[in-house]
């Protein structure tokens, strides 16, 4: 089987890039796999690409390449304007993706972000299984983007979210008849580092220093922890515009060297292996890659039970702890519980290591293979369901378009007296002695008309 994955930028770094590379490598064990990257901005990818996976860049933004093409400077028409990456896409992207998919011989084509999934729906051959991955959540998208995506997603074979909870949201709020909607989590390979022994006095955290990650809440919670356990430190790995603000917050709370902001770190697993606990204070997680990455090196996680990922990854009290979002005191209390219970913390670390094996790329590649088989077997049945649903939508639009004018027409009739004389046409003499019109009961006449 030949499988093609469409990726925004395989030469960058981020959760979607990492999990796509992991899945591609696992599928390459038994299939021919290639990744089509919408962009190329550097000579080599930042993350390792399995040598069995073919990488196909479509638009090269390195100086002196496609930046000389005038189409590169005209905004994309097909890539949806409501997608936040629209400003990066051009007519050249539209044309290159169309050409790539027109010549694509893959049996399965998988898109990995909303705008790219529109390309998938518009241009991928109908002979292939067409699958959209959603690495963000339904509710993260604006109403305008959701309205744009719905008609395109209805033409696909499947939509795969990173959590079961988000799949349920799609099924209830964006009905997609004949389209399989399910949750398959991101994959995280076994790291090439020894697991944590749980003895260091380090709490780790990682991610973009963005408002939704709530590192400010974590620092406030750690101020409570540090008052009771001054020999422990918090190390935050990640970059972003809020870094200086977070430093000032830590200083204002008197934390000093108890809080370290290290900047971005890749790979992150060695840093997690040096810690004994991972802390997550997010108010929203579409999945929670850092949670799984920490568990894969035997580190228990204390996380807010925010929508949607942490609750599906962490078993509270077994391999980590879940606390209410936005509650610094609850987060601090859970951290203190693990800090003060050496034996319990190490037991949670062992459970985290064991339970995280379900995110192994090989296991999740098999789930995708099962999905491919299911979609292939049910292809004709789902096509019939989609056709029926499309007919019902067209019929509904027709009824709605006719309903109001018909109502206005009937209203005009029922408001007009039934015995009014008919005016003479132009150039005619009015009838001289016309017999009086037969007056029908008004109710009866209206009933007859409405029937």
One digit per residue, the tens of pLDDT, for the chain of length 451 reads 999 999 999 999 888 998 999 999 999 999 999 999 999 999 999 889 999 999 999 999 998 888 778 899 999 999 999 999 999 999 999 999 999 999 999 999 999 999 999 999 999 999 999 999 999 999 999 999 999 999 999 999 999 999 999 999 999 999 999 999 999 999 999 999 999 999 999 999 999 999 999 999 999 999 999 999 999 999 999 999 999 999 999 999 999 899 999 998 888 999 999 999 999 999 999 899 999 999 999 999 999 999 989 999 999 999 999 999 999 999 999 999 999 999 999 999 999 999 999 999 999 999 999 999 999 999 999 999 988 988 888 888 888 777 665 555 555 545 544 444 434 433 333 444 434 444 444 444 433 333 3
396-425 burial, b if ≥16 CB within 10 A, otherwise e?
eeeeeeeeeeeeeeeeeeeeeebeeeeeee
pLDDT at 418: 41
Tokens (6 digits) for 380: 């004709």
Backbone dihedral angles phi then psi of residue 59, each to the nearest 5 degrees: -130, 125
Main-chain dihedrals φ then ψ at residue 150, nearest 5 degrees = -50, -50
pTM check: above 0.85: no
Q: What is the DSSP letter of 196?
A: P
Q: Give the model's pLDDT for residue 446.
A: 36
Partners of 260 in the beta sheet?
A: 235
**Which residue matches tokens 């491919």?**
372
Cis peptide before 267, with omega less than 30 degrees from 0? yes
pLDDT at 124: 97
How far apart (Å, rounded) are the C-alpha atoms in residues 393 and 396? 5
Name residue 130's beta-bridge partners. Answer: 109
CA 120, CA 116: separation in Å to the nearest integer? Answer: 6
Helix or strand run (H / E) with residue 120:
helix 114-123
Residue 138 DSSP class: G
Q: Widest CA span of the chain, in angstroms?
A: 113
Domains of the chain: 2-187+363-377 (3.40.50.2000), 202-359 (3.40.50.2000)
Are 283 and 214 contacting, i.e. CB atoms less than 8 angstroms apart?
A: yes
Structure tokens of 101? Answer: 């998919």
User: Which H or E run includes 6?
Assistant: strand 2-7
Cβ atoms within 10 Å of 97's Cβ, excluding its own: 26
Q: Which two tokens stand for residue 145?
A: 């983007």
């Amino acid at each position: 089987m030949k499988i093609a994955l469409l990726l925004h930028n395989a030469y960058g770094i981020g959760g979607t890039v990492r999990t796509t590379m992991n899945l591609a490598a696992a599928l390459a064990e038994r299939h021919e796999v290639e990744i089509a990257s919408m962009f190329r901005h550097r000579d080599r990818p930042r993350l390792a690409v399995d040598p069995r996976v073919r990488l196909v860049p479509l638009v090269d933004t390195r100086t002196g390449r496609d930046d000389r093409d005038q189409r590169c400077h005209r905004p994309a028409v097909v890539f949806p304007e409501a997608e936040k990456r629209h400003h990066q896409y051009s007519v050249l992207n539209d044309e290159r993706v169309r050409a790539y998919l027109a010549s694509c011989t893959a049996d399965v084509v998988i898109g990995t972000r909303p705008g790219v999934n529109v390309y998938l729906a518009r241009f991928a051959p109908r002979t292939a299984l067409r699958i959209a991955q959603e690495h963000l959540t339904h509710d993260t998208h604006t109403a305008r983007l959701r309205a744009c995506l719905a008609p395109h997603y209805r033409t696909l074979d499947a939509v795969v979210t990173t959590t079961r909870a988000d799949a349920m949201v799609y099924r209830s709020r964006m009905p997609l008849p004949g389209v399989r909607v399910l949750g398959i989590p991101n994959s995280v390979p076994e790291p090439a580092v020894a697991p944590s022994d749980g003895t260091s006095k380090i709490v780790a955290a990682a991610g973009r220093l963005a408002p939704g990650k709530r590192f400010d809440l974590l620092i406030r919670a750690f101020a409570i922890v540090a008052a009771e356990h001054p020999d422990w430190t918090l190390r935050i790995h990640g970059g972003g515009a809020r870094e200086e603000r977070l430093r000032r917050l830590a200083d204002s709370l008197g934390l000093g060297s108890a809080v370290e902001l290290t900047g971005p770190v890749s790979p992150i697993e060695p840093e997690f292996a040096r810690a004994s606990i991972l802390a997550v204070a997010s108010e929203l997680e579409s999945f929670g890659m850092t949670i799984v990455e920490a568990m894969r090196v035997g580190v228990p996680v204390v996380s807010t039970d925010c929508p949607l990922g942490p609750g599906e990854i962490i078993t509270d009290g077994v391999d980590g702890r879940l606390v209410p979002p936005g509650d610094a005191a609850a987060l601090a209390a859970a951290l203190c519980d693990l800090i003060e219970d050496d034996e319990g913390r190490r037991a949670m670390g062992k459970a985290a290591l064991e339970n995280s094996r379900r995110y192994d790329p090989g296991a999740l590649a098999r789930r995708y293979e099962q999905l491919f088989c299911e979609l292939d077997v049910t292809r004709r049945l789902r096509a019939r369901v989609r056709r029926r649903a499309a007919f019902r939508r067209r019929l509904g639009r027709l009824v709605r378009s006719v309903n109001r004018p018909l109502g206005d027409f009937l209203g005009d009739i029922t408001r007009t007296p039934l015995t009014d004389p008919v005016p003479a046409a132009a150039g005619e003499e009015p009838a001289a002695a016309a017999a009086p019109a037969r007056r029908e009961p008004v109710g009866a006449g209206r009933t007859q008309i409405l029937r």
